A and B are shown apart, each in its own frame.
Chain A
Amino acid sequence: MNESSADVILRMSGIKKSFASVEVLHGVDFTLKRGEIHALIGENGAGKSTLIKCLGGIIRADEGTVQIDGQPAQIGGIEDAERYGISIIHQELSLVSHMTVAENIYLGHMPLKRGFIDNRAMEKNARVILDAVGLEKIAVSRECGELTVAQQQMVEIARALAAKTRIIVMDEPTASLTEREAERLFEIARRYRGEGISIIYISHKLEEIFKIADNITVLRDGWSVGAKKPSEVTYDGLVSMMVGREYTGHYPRSGYTGGEEALRVENFSSPKMFQNIGFTVHKGEVLGFYGLIGSGRTEVMRGIFGIDENASGEIYVGGKRVVISNPGDAIASGIALSPESRKEHGLILEQTVSFNVMLTVLKKFIKGISIDENYERQTLSAYIERLKIKLKSVFQPVKSLSGGNQQKIVLAKWLAASPDVLILDEPTRGIDVGAKHEIYQLITELARQGMAIVFISSELPEIMGLSDNIVVFHEGRQTGFVTRDKIHEATILRYAMGEVR
């Protein structure tokens, strides 16, 4: 590589970090140039987040050196990182939802006048920055909790800019954005690159990386395995670097040709959320649900599962009408729902793997006052093996696992309930390519064994790759139904944009 050292704004060398005597970074090198968008990729657990946390002063590296502008830099805390002009836009949005946009932008360093907060200056400056990131229509006095996810993301970027940042780290910024919103984000990123700001861009969506990155650094298992330009590698080549083996991106197929009716929903509505939804999923079928975020896919599933109390309509399981007024009824009818947000609805993070997996089957292994430990052990080991979950112990807290493994725990939990119908809401969101592929395999295998699967995703490639039939949503209405043989990207998108067939 040919780089003059004047171009380099940040050089991290030999970064090592251990947590509780387990080394997660084994000496990572990373070089960032002025005014570039540099993608940092790798599977979950590869060490991206840890590296970024070291850079941002949230944790301290055990070994290694950091140079900024060619000078050695000591980053001991968040204040140091701020001083060097490093801002991190975290994956989990870190805004205080009850505070205003202006307050959030200046949180931690509000402008003062004679020792008191200068609200006027704060709001005025915030206005300028908001305009710059394309939030012209958002009042600075709005509470952040009222904004859409995309708008909140932009507020975070505004915050980084307000702090006179030279290096912005974006950790999975598009995870919950629609494609149009993501495009908008890229536009802004490119603009700031033009102004000499360097951006470290972390994403699992490799298509994006090819679109936006100037350079790519790949991490694997705590090592840096290479830095490339997008023009030098292919998609599969990049994945191979990440997973450390040859990769071909084919979707597994279940070979579904038709089966008995498993779940039928008719005239399903909920005020303000969705109207007149009706679909059928059969044994062995993977029924895809596609729609933009906010189109009502998730709400319908929550309705079927008895979480949304206002939903009404007819639900048939195995041809028999069932009344579901709470999730307990749904589980008893043989339906399982793996929810969209694993941290909010899927897992009790503080509790152990065992606790979480066994939650849906408590009745099966707690007999009166005695616990059937044998059953517990068997169930656990069966699912852990089947889902290839990497763990030290079933008694380790779920929050200590990587995103991909947490998602697998959610699946294990619902599989333990042995449902007839499994609803998976965004099961691959925020997890890496390797883990995604394992989840695809699992979905296909479950379908092959006769389980009916409803698969919700906002990623079109996986919906098209895995589904036998696809239901398309737009603003709470069912705008299209696409069968296997007619699956075509343009058709699906047209339905998703609201064009009714």
Chain B
Amino acid sequence: MSDESGGMKIGRVGVVFRQSSPIFIFAGIFILMSIASPYFFAWRNFMNVLRQSAVIGILAMGQALVIMTAGIDLSVGSMMTLSGCLIATASTAWGLHPVIAVATGVSAATLVGLINGFLTAKVKLYDFIATLGTKTAIDGVALLITDGLPVSKIPPSITVIGGKAISAGIPIAAIVFALIAAAAIIILGYTTFGRNALAIGGNSEAARVSGVDITKTKIMAMAFCGLCSGIGGIVIVGRLNSANALMGTNMELNSIAAVVIGGTSINGGQGTMFGTIIGVLTMGVLQNGLELLNISSFWQKFILGLVIIAVVTLDTYRRKKLDADRR
């Protein structure tokens, strides 16, 4: 049998562009902002972007893995909030040791992730519905824990993670993001679990008949997402130097946006963690740049929406072209 694919006809540059349009979009926005604002291209500002992007980046790593299995998790913002509120309340009102408080928050979020996994993989609810349910429920729990009031005076040993920087102004939050990103890259690229996740998203029947344990893989992906959200909770209480039950509002949608901007297919089976990181940074740079240009947050939202639509349109077009070339 001969190799008759026509896919090799496009030039080298074309290949790179088509396989990694997210990085070009990022570069485009980056250059645009560098020109438009004199304050943008500066080390301090880059560190600023990293600090602002860290939380959403941490959540997006988990979200990306779930989306690659062809799922979706609407509860990431709420799991983060639950974790943060537990950490804050436990370390203040309940008087627990900071380490135990953090462990409580992170385990609670991971547990919710496990429940999400159980509901979708075992009970076989749609991800959308199951995670909408858990999201609503744990939003309630966060309000109950905090009594609907902001929690402050969190011990500095906790808030240092999200609030402080090491030398050269590198925020610790960014380091946490980098560590989680590294873990996610390894999981996706070098573990059976990661490959199985992609296989399930690509063709779950094929994965099943190949002996992939679909239930286990889905539960693990959801649990990983919960774990990431829990860690996001540590970072956000440091950044805000307080916690409240509404701090995760819209974060689930922003995390999905970051994943999609990063080139991951919402249908699952396709995508990279590197792309997701680019997606996170694209959103961060865009928001930061617009702020430096003194554009109101109302307009920022509007523009971000347009960017999401533009990126996905471009990506759909790119995939279509790619498919056409393969014929």
Q: Does A109 contact B (CB under 8 A)?
A: yes
Which residues of B in the span 2-41 have a Cβ within 8 Å of any Cβ on A? 2-5, 7
Q: B287: shortest Cβ distance to chain A, in Å?
A: 31
Q: A388: shortest Cβ distance to chain B, in Å?
A: 31
Q: Which of B4, B195, B205, B208 contacts A117 (CB 8 A)?
A: B195
Q: Are B190 and A96 in contact (CB under 8 A)?
A: no
Contact (A107, B212) CB under 8 Å given A94-B206, A95-B203, A116-B191: yes
Q: Are B1 and A96 in contact (CB under 8 A)?
A: no
Instruction: Kindly state the separation between the CA atoms of A107 and B211 in the bound complex, as whole angstroms.
Output: 8
Q: Does A221 contact B (CB under 8 A)?
A: no
Residues from chain A with Cβ under 8 Å of B98 in the complex: none
Can you list, as one digit per residue, whether each of B192-216 has a CB less than 8 Å from chain A (1) or not (0)? 1001101100110111111110000
Q: Are B191 and A108 in contact (CB under 8 A)?
A: no
| Minimal Cβ-Cβ distance residue in A for B2 | A137
Q: Which of A58, A98, A107, A135 contacts B207 (CB 8 A)?
A: A107
Q: Does B270 contact A (CB under 8 A)?
A: yes
Q: Are A134 and B269 in contact (CB under 8 A)?
A: no
Q: Does B326 contact A (CB under 8 A)?
A: yes
Q: Does A195 contact B (CB under 8 A)?
A: no
Q: B282: shortest Cβ distance to chain A, in Å?
A: 23
Q: Does A371 contact B (CB under 8 A)?
A: no
**Residue in B186, B207, B210 whose Cβ sees the most chain A Cβ within 10 Å:** B210
Instruction: Kindly state the separation between the CA atoms of A181 and B208 in the bound complex, as whole angstroms.
Output: 28
Q: Are B5 and A108 in contact (CB under 8 A)?
A: no
Q: Does A298 contact B (CB under 8 A)?
A: no
Q: Which of A107, A117, A150 contacts B206 (CB 8 A)?
A: A107
Binds B, one of A140-148, A234-242, A457-465: A140-148
Residues from chain A with Cβ under 8 Å of B3 in the complex: 137-138, 151
Q: Are A98 and B202 in contact (CB under 8 A)?
A: yes
| Minimal Cβ-Cβ distance residue in B for A142 | B5
Q: Are B209 and A96 in contact (CB under 8 A)?
A: no
Which residues of A in the span 32-65 have a Cβ within 8 Å of any Cβ on B? 56, 58
Q: Are A154 and B1 in contact (CB under 8 A)?
A: yes
Q: Are B199 and A107 in contact (CB under 8 A)?
A: yes
Contact (A78, B208) CB under 8 Å given A112-B192, A116-B191, A146-B326: yes
Residues from chain B with Cβ under 8 Å of A95 in the complex: 203, 206
Residues from chain B with Cβ under 8 Å of A90 in the complex: 209
Can you list, as one digit per residue, whether each of A484-501 has a CB less than 8 Å from chain B (1) or not (0)? 000000000000000000
Tell me the count of chain A residues lying within 8 A, CB to CB, of chain B. Answer: 41
Q: Are B1 and A184 in contact (CB under 8 A)?
A: yes
Can you list, as one digit per residue, whether each of B292-327 has a CB less than 8 Å from chain A (1) or not (0)? 000000000000000000000000000000000011
| Minimal Cβ-Cβ distance residue in B for A177 | B1
Residues from chain A with Cβ under 8 Å of B211 in the complex: 78-79, 82, 107-109
Tell me the count of chain B residues lying within 8 A, CB to CB, of chain A. Answer: 29
Contact (A116, B190) CB under 8 Å given A94-B205, A109-B211, A138-B3: yes
Q: Does A88 contact B (CB under 8 A)?
A: yes
Q: Are B192 and A117 in contact (CB under 8 A)?
A: yes
**Residue in A92, A107, A148 whose Cβ sees the most chain B Cβ within 10 Å:** A107
Residues from chain A with Cβ under 8 Å of B7 in the complex: 146
Instruction: Kindly state the separation between the CA atoms of A349 and B3 in the bound complex, as whole angstroms.
Output: 34
Q: Does A432 contact B (CB under 8 A)?
A: no
Residues from chain B with Cβ under 8 Å of A78 in the complex: 208-209, 211
Q: Are A99 and B198 in contact (CB under 8 A)?
A: yes
Q: Are A88 and B209 in contact (CB under 8 A)?
A: yes
Q: A75: shortest Cβ distance to chain B, in Å?
A: 13
Determine chain B's interface SS by DSSP, over half rule: helix
Q: Are A151 and B1 in contact (CB under 8 A)?
A: yes
Q: Does A368 contact B (CB under 8 A)?
A: no
Residues from chain A with Cβ under 8 Å of B212 in the complex: 107-108
| Minimal Cβ-Cβ distance residue in B for A148 | B4
Q: Does A110 contact B (CB under 8 A)?
A: yes
Contact (A181, B1) CB under 8 Å given A78-B208, A107-B206, A108-B212: yes
Residues from chain B with Cβ under 8 Å of A94 in the complex: 203, 205-206, 209-210
Residues from chain A with Cβ under 8 Å of B208 in the complex: 78
Can you list, as one digit per residue, whether each of A159-185 has a CB less than 8 Å from chain B (1) or not (0)? 100000000000000000000010010
Q: Does A115 contact B (CB under 8 A)?
A: yes
Q: A51: shortest Cβ distance to chain B, in Å?
A: 16
Residues from chain B with Cβ under 8 Å of A146 in the complex: 5, 7, 326
Q: Which of A58, A99, A108, A147 contacts B202 (CB 8 A)?
A: A99
| Minimal Cβ-Cβ distance residue in A for B202 | A96
Q: Which of A107, A117, A135, A148 contacts B191 (CB 8 A)?
A: A117
Q: Are B326 and A98 in contact (CB under 8 A)?
A: no
Residues from chain A with Cβ under 8 Å of B207 in the complex: 96, 107-108
Q: Are A97 and B4 in contact (CB under 8 A)?
A: no
Q: Are B326 and A145 in contact (CB under 8 A)?
A: yes
Q: Does A420 contact B (CB under 8 A)?
A: no
Residues from chain B with Cβ under 8 Å of A110 in the complex: 192, 195
Instruction: Kindly state the separation between the CA atoms of A58 and B206 in the bound complex, as whole angstroms.
Output: 12
Instruction: Kindly state the separation between the CA atoms of A134 and B2 in the bound complex, as whole angstroms.
Output: 9
Instruction: Kindly state the separation between the CA atoms of A85 and B208 in the bound complex, as whole angstroms.
Output: 17
Residues from chain B with Cβ under 8 Å of A147 in the complex: 5
| Minimal Cβ-Cβ distance residue in B for A153 | B1
Q: Which of B1, B205, B269, B326 contacts A150 (CB 8 A)?
A: B1
Can you list, as one digit per residue, whether each of B264-278 has a CB less than 8 Å from chain A (1) or not (0)? 000001100000000
Can you list, as one digit per residue, whether each of A100-114 has a CB less than 8 Å from chain B (1) or not (0)? 000100011110100
Q: B29: shortest Cβ distance to chain A, in Å?
A: 27
| Minimal Cβ-Cβ distance residue in B for A105 | B210
Q: B69: shortest Cβ distance to chain A, in Å?
A: 12
Q: Are A107 and B4 in contact (CB under 8 A)?
A: no
Instruction: Kindly state the separation between the CA atoms of A82 and B208 in the bound complex, as whole angstroms.
Output: 13
Residues from chain B with Cβ under 8 Å of A116 in the complex: 186, 190-191
Residues from chain B with Cβ under 8 Å of A96 in the complex: 198-199, 202-203, 206-207, 269
| Minimal Cβ-Cβ distance residue in A for B268 | A98
Residues from chain A with Cβ under 8 Å of B191 in the complex: 115-117
Which residues of B in the span 222-237 have a Cβ within 8 Å of any Cβ on A? none
**Residue in B1, B210, B326 whose Cβ sees the most chain A Cβ within 10 Å:** B1
| Minimal Cβ-Cβ distance residue in B for A299 | B327
Residues from chain A with Cβ under 8 Å of B199 in the complex: 96, 99, 103, 107
Instruction: Kindly state the separation between the CA atoms of A153 and B313 in the bound complex, as whole angstroms.
Output: 33
Q: Are B326 and A58 in contact (CB under 8 A)?
A: no
Instruction: Kindly state the separation between the CA atoms of A88 and B212 in the bound complex, as whole angstroms.
Output: 15
Residues from chain B with Cβ under 8 Å of A138 in the complex: 3
Instruction: Kindly state the separation between the CA atoms of A205 and B125 in the bound complex, as whole angstroms.
Output: 41
What are 9 pairs between A and B in contact, CB < 8 Å?
A78-B209, A96-B198, A98-B202, A107-B207, A108-B211, A110-B195, A137-B2, A148-B1, A154-B1
Known: A96-B199, A147-B5. 6 other contacts (CB 8 A): A96-B198, A98-B270, A108-B211, A110-B195, A145-B326, A146-B326
